[in-house]
Amino acid sequence: MRDDLGSTVPVPADVRRVVSLVPSLTEAVAVSAPGLLVGATDWCTHPADLDVVRIRGTKNPDLAAIRALAPDLVLANEEENRAADLAALRAAGIAVWVTRVRGLDEAFAALERMLVLGCRLPVPTWLDRCRTAWAALPAAAPRRAIIPVWRRPWMVAGRDTFAADALTRFGVENVFAGHAERWPRISLDELRAAEADLVVLPDEPYRFTATDGPEAFPHLPAALVSGRHLTWYGPSLAAAPEVLAGQLAIRG
């Protein structure tokens, strides 16, 4: 089997033990096949009742703990996880499946490949619901937006990001879509000078709130949105269109 990076993954014929290093992938597997997951990061918050061994974070996984779990497969992402950690797991004889997602359609394809080819599961019904939910979006008036993901320093969505692609489905175009970097650092003065109609402030990875974020853009309406529904690719995508449509209608 080959993962999203084209790497050959020695997936066993019978996958019974999976460790996930990405919160959204954790939720995807847990909803699709309860009991398959044996380990996940400390940041894997969904499902809320997930009871597995915790192996620290996405950037500092406990490799010894992962090896001790003897997984048939480890799930990772090219952006969320460090290449050195994944190489160490492969060197220990563990199969590692790496996802690569830069847009909504790519997310659907990556999830299906990971679950069917990597985890040896049938296509989950929730994935069809996600595709249907996003296909049913009505046309929206175009707006240009700044999409910060961090402050101190300010960082925004640049080119080829899943979040920005998802927002285009609501008529929201990313001001920095043409930037050379995917997550560029932009000064606040430059952000304020950008020709934008809106600032979209998710609550992760940085937790923007009504009192932490909008005040930096007093000339722009602000939409506070769910980071999970904007940036996670998994079962949350089924509810994301309705959730985000309501939040993007907010004006500040």
Tokens at residue 93, please?
A: 């004889």
pLDDT for residue 136: 87
Tokens at residue 216, please?
A: 């930096």
The pTM of the whole model exceeds 0.85? yes
Report the share of the chain in percent with pLDDT over 90: 96
Question: Which architecture, in CATH terms, is 139-248?
Answer: 3-Layer(aba) Sandwich (3.40)
Chain region(s) in the chain for CATH 3.40.50.1980? 18-123, 139-248
> Which residues is 144 bridged to in the sheet?
173
Q: pLDDT (tens digit, 9 = 90+) per residue, 119-160?
A: 999 999 999 999 999 998 988 899 999 999 999 999 999 999
* 18-123 CATH pick, 1.20.1300.10, 3.40.50.1980, 1.10.287.10, 3.40.50.2000: 3.40.50.1980
Three-state secondary structure of 82-93? CHHHHHHHHHCC
Of 152, 170, 158, nearest to 225 by C-alpha is 170
Strand, coil or helix: 37: strand
> Which residues is 173 bridged to in the sheet?
144
Q: pLDDT (tens digit, 9 = 90+) per residue, 170-223?
A: 999 999 999 999 999 999 999 999 999 999 999 999 999 999 999 999 999 999
Inform me whether the pLDDT recorded for 75 exceeds 60.
Answer: yes
Q: Could you tell me where the beta strands, DSSP code E, fall in 10-142?
A: 18-20, 37-40, 53-54, 73-77, 96-99
3-state helix, strand, coil in the chain (%, to 5): 35, 15, 50
